[in-house]
Amino acid sequence: MASGITILGMLPLLGDAMFGGMAEVIMGGLLMATVLTIFVLPVTYCVFFRIKSDK
């Protein structure tokens, strides 16, 4: 939630000539870190430890 709020809070900075590039980099980093943490890390853990679902 904190990453999402930070990304939304930086949207107005994208149009700024001075801080636009910095906002893009921070937003992209937060987005990539969030996606990796929520999706890639659990899948990697399950594959590494051979965890199967109960379905």
Give the pLDDT score at 39: 94
The pLDDT value recorded for residue 55 is 66
CB atoms within 10 A of CB 19: 14
In contact, 34 and 10? CB cutoff 8 Å: no
Q: Percent helix, strand and coil across the chain, each rounded to 5?
A: 80, 0, 20
According to the model, what pLDDT value does residue 40 have?
A: 94
**Residue ranges per domain, the chain?**
2-48
CA distances from 18 to 10, 31, 32, 43 (A): 13, 22, 23, 39
pLDDT at res. 51: 79
Show pLDDT as tens, one digit a residue, over the chain (55 residues).
999 999 999 999 999 999 999 999 999 999 999 999 999 999 999 999 987 776 6
